[in-house]
Chain A
């Protein structure tokens, strides 16, 4: 594992912490990855901004404890492990990223020296066409 000292070069500065409101997420594009970063009050957690179900923007979801609920079809994703928690029969997950806050700035871990983003191992997910009842049109 990489060092967690934020002064070393394997951290990249993303945005000031106050730019992500409490219990909300914001998306940011880093090196071709669309990443959702969430403010959980005591820490920030980051995952790939793409629901394994239909690619919904997780950054726009409602935060429930340390999980986020995808705004499209209510898949629930654990922000620490990346696991989908309410589809136990399939076990899909999203990539997670390591974050820290240093001098009021949210930082993301990248692998040195190439400057590529360090990723947790991700897993492949199959999708199910299940649509919960949600508001659709006008």
Chain B
């Protein structure tokens, strides 16, 4: 068998090997990689830096894959020389390996600009997993990080470091960020997006020196200014790694020169990826290297024929909330170029298309890249756009996302990075039993590159696979194009503390009556109450802590834990009702008393005179624990449900929840307080408690599911609170426990609460404890309003006579 040696265990080399394996496998393959990791998706390193993904998440080929395909993998070995005459490669471990065919996939190295003091401790490059780990170990909260280079990689590194808590400044030599991909206007939109995220951007700055005594302390610029720095990241570009090829006397310009068949100047040596130069062009993106790999695989396996004709490249910035797409040639200078533009400064949207002879030559999208697919396609097909001329920047009226994918021809490329067509995806679904996104990735490799086609892949799966489960695609509202789970992760990962910030960065900046209260809750639960509270984003009930009625008055329900009250309390309630002329006093269905028809301006006075805490009857929060008489008086009671209920209410009161939480505790299976139809119920039995969850007796009627049976009251309370916090963290806003449980399944809820590993349980308890520590009786704002006119009717300074 002939021996194939691959130098480089990166995306290009391994993708090419994958293609070679698709042809008849007639090689004994050895792959050398100077990193100690299996092949991973280098494009996603910025996601690892930002903490969105772990190192394991970005692995493309596992060790088993190498084994299954009988590939000898030599990790941590750097090839130091190639002898084309003897056909051997020598490693830095002294080993010599013979080859019949050699594939160079050596990638590129970071370009290090001539800066004084660049070897100081604290200067990093950002190229591989080890660099990422080194950066992560230094990226402490509050550290000052300076990223030199405002290109794709530099900006992604900057955002990652900022998410890690660093104060980040991006220093760019040119006057436009990503100037190779954007025009000055696009660059300025991008700049303001980055600044909106809290990343400082300095343009037109040439870095001359890294300051500090051994360790980085600052960065100095040509104009004489300097800034402080604890970490410096060099992201000034890449240079093809051609040393091996040059020493082997292959033809090398900027990159290793290859022809259309990916052959170098030596008949048995081939090259692929960022290290090559084809037709005068070196590529630094993923789509070309995968395309080259296919051609090379054909050539090297004796199926020479397909030619590489260059790639229309597209760049996409992978920073959540900063959508940037750029492809082709968008310069306006060449004669005969028509430019079509759209701008909305308030929304931060900028789109520009360049056309020549009715065909698209380039596109820039900032702030909204949802149409990038269409433009990429037009660039590839060079379709005559004359008939679409009036709708170039807007989809036609009937073209929504769903029909878009249905109307797509089978030959159309869905995944531009790997080059997977719609037809190939449908075939995989039908013939290989693919029905999840993960299986689709595994089987076709679609959506494993930049990931921008994920949505299209999901739409296809949804259309073709009947049982396809949408992966939480439910969008909150039209203001924010994300589902709540995704938003929770984002808020947590990107450390966003206010509703308006989420809307400004990820939404339309406006918000509405649907997303604002939902995001308000999200802030509260994600940060355990330690967020920037914005009352303007709350429903009126949560601004004045009372329930608005049809005539604009409010209702007041004081907390009466477990439904137990006293003569004194009742007397105060009666006095208040009389003094404030409360039109209706009513016993609610939740064992407490409602004062209806109260004016907003009377609320603080009433609360003060009641001297009872808020019953949260107006909010998505902890309502009450309904109890039966228990053991103190009842002749049947076997558990002290009254005491247990009061204690449960005390532990959870003043907390907010996705939807209202009504609880119950009963002392025997007669269930007088109806605990089996409550969100959380405690059912006393001889020597035990059943803890039940997800019951309903409202619009929907549902018997609660058993969570667990325990012996002591304390264990019952612990189980109930575990579930309570789990529901708080995982349910969607307005989703009652009974809908949540039906969506998630009680088995999973048990597994992740009462049967979860101790550390998980402790995490839930700790976050509940933190929330509880900051939770306070909302009615205390009667004495200390958050705003002077929170409850007060505004009196005009000047009167107007009628």
Contact = CB atoms under 8 A, between A and B. Distances in A.
Contacts of A129: none
B512 A23 contact: no
9 contacts: A14-B796, A20-B789, A21-B535, A21-B787, A23-B536, A24-B543, A31-B801, A62-B537, A72-B548
B590 A138 contact: yes
B516 A62 contact: yes
A26 B620 CA distance: 24
Contacts of A30: 796, 800
Interface string B568-604: 0000000000000000000011101010000000000
A57 B552 contact: yes
Nearest to B544: A60
A43 B552 CA distance: 26
Contacts of A20: 789, 794
A56 interface: yes
A60 B797 contact: no
A122 interface: no
Contacts of A110: 800
B731 to A, nearest CB: 16
Contacts of A12: 796, 798, 800
A121 interface: no
Nearest to B589: A138
A54 B513 CA distance: 18
Interface in A10-61: 12-15, 19-24, 26-32, 54-57, 60-61
Interface string B532-552: 000111111101000110111
A63 B594 contact: no
Interface string B718-760: 0000000000000000000000000000000000000000000
A27 B795 CA distance: 9
Interface of A: 12-15, 19-24, 26-32, 54-57, 60-65, 69, 71-72, 74, 105, 110, 115-117, 135, 137-138
A72 B543 CA distance: 15
A82 to B, nearest CB: 19
Given A19-B788, A24-B536, A138-B588, A29 B512 contact: no
Contact of B797 (A14, A26, A54): A14
Contacts of B800: 12, 30-31, 110, 115-117
A57 B540 CA distance: 10
B797 A15 contact: yes
Interface string B459-490: 00000000000000000000100000000000
B557 interface: yes
Contacts of A28: 793-796
A105 B590 contact: no
Given A19-B788, A115-B802, 12 more contacts: A12-B800, A15-B797, A20-B794, A21-B536, A27-B793, A28-B794, A29-B796, A54-B550, A62-B516, A63-B536, A64-B510, A116-B800
A13 B798 contact: yes
Nearest to A51: B552
A56 B552 contact: yes
Interface in B500-549: 510-513, 516-517, 535-541, 543, 547-548
Interface residues of B, number: 44
A60 B788 contact: no
B660 interface: yes
A138 B787 contact: no
B793 A61 contact: no
B502 to A, nearest CB: 14
B510 A31 contact: no
Given A31-B801, A135-B660, A19 B536 contact: no
Interface string B772-802: 0000000000000001110001111110111
Contacts of A24: 535-536, 543
A138 B615 contact: yes
Given A71-B540, A138-B590, A115 B788 contact: no
A113 to B, nearest CB: 11
Contact of B557 (A13, A105, A117, A138): A138
Contact of B794 (A14, A22, A116, A138): A14
B592 A60 contact: no
Contacts of A60: 540, 543, 548, 552
A2 to B, nearest CB: 15
A31 B801 CA distance: 6
Q: Which 10 A-B pairs have the closest CB atoms?
A: A23-B536, A65-B510, A60-B540, A138-B588, A69-B513, A64-B512, A57-B552, A31-B800, A138-B617, A13-B797
Interface of B: 479, 510-513, 516-517, 535-541, 543, 547-548, 550-552, 557, 588-590, 592, 594, 615, 617-618, 620, 623, 660, 787-789, 793-798, 800-802
Given A21-B535, A138-B592, A69 B512 contact: yes
B513 A62 contact: yes
Given A60-B552, A61-B540, A138 B796 contact: no
A22 B513 contact: no
A64 B515 CA distance: 10
Most buried by A among B536, B537, B588, B618: B536
B704 to A, nearest CB: 20
B418 to A, nearest CB: 41
A28 B543 CA distance: 18
Contacts of A61: 513, 540
B277 to A, nearest CB: 51
Contact of B513 (A14, A57, A74): A74
A62 B539 contact: yes
A26 B623 CA distance: 29
Contacts of B540: 60-62, 71
B796 A116 contact: no
A84 to B, nearest CB: 14
Nearest to B538: A62
B791 to A, nearest CB: 11
Given A20-B789, A30-B796, A138-B617, A71 B592 contact: no
Nearest to A72: B550
Nearest to B588: A138
A86 to B, nearest CB: 10
Contact of A15 (B513, B516, B538, B794): B794
B794 A27 contact: yes
Contacts of A65: 510
Nearest to A24: B536
B536 A22 contact: yes
Contacts of B795: 15, 28
Contacts of A117: 800
Contacts of B787: 21
Nearest to B552: A57
Most buried by A among B541, B589, B787: B787
Nearest to B510: A65
B789 A64 contact: no
B606 to A, nearest CB: 16
A99 B548 CA distance: 28
Most buried by B among A57, A61, A117, A135: A135
A117 B516 CA distance: 34
A138 B797 contact: no
Nearest to A19: B789
